[in-house]
Chains A and B, each alone.
Chain A
Amino acid sequence: MRIHLTSIFVDDQRAARTFYTEVLGFEVRHEIPLGDDFWLTVVSPEAPDGPELLLEPSGHPAVKPYRDAMLEDGIPLAQFTVADLQAEYERLTSLGVLFTQPPTDIGTAHVAVFDDTCGNLIQLVAMKPAAT
């Protein structure tokens, strides 16, 4: 068994497509019209055959209270890995991305949390090299 696809809810799929590609740098893998919405997935250019992230419409009434509560308490709903967290923090900040947690050393890794402008907080993680 392996994880092929996971999903997060987004307020607006078109805005999410722009943010996840133009700001974060992911690539659209699937964009299939489904009524008023799309089956919209993105992948990392570093792993084009790797896991897809489904950017799912947030119309279900249970989504808003759930995500509002997660946002208020600063709880990220997805986690992406980067090699150099400080560089990524500076790059995204210069593009206007709001961080709710600046790069922080948590022992085994450096982490930070940003607002994806689509209703979610996302955690960035840079693992420290394993001690030898």
Chain B
Amino acid sequence: MADVYHALDDETRRLILDELARRNGQSLFELCSALTMRHGIGSTRQAISQHLAVLEAAGLVTTERRGRTKLHHFNREPLAVINERWPPAGKDL
């Protein structure tokens, strides 16, 4: 599985997760529209598709089919490694 830290080390990929956190289950077309309209990201669909592949390889994005269309979901589970490595200070006390 690809590295979570690497997957998060890119503003466009973080914005993709923001958009999926706002509403899960979006197609590539929809995500590209949201990135353009809401964030001024003018990347090509191919570039966004490659970013999604990195997020998917890291387990941060999962996909399902609605009809024949691929929809993307934000999976937060891999983020647990961050909290496990550096627990919030309060939890040590």
Contacts and interface: CB of A to CB of B under 8 A. Distances in A.
How many A residues touch the partner, as a band?
Answer: 10 to 19
B45 interface: yes
A111 B37 CA distance: 12
B17 interface: no
Binding site secondary structure of chain A: mixed
A76 B28 CA distance: 11
Interface of B: 26-30, 33-34, 37-38, 45, 49, 66-71
Given A100-B30, A113-B27, 18 more contacts: A71-B67, A72-B69, A73-B27, A73-B29, A73-B45, A73-B69, A73-B70, A74-B27, A74-B29, A74-B30, A74-B69, A75-B29, A75-B45, A100-B67, A101-B29, A106-B33, A106-B37, A113-B29
Interface of A: 68, 71-76, 98, 100-101, 104, 106-107, 111, 113, 115, 121
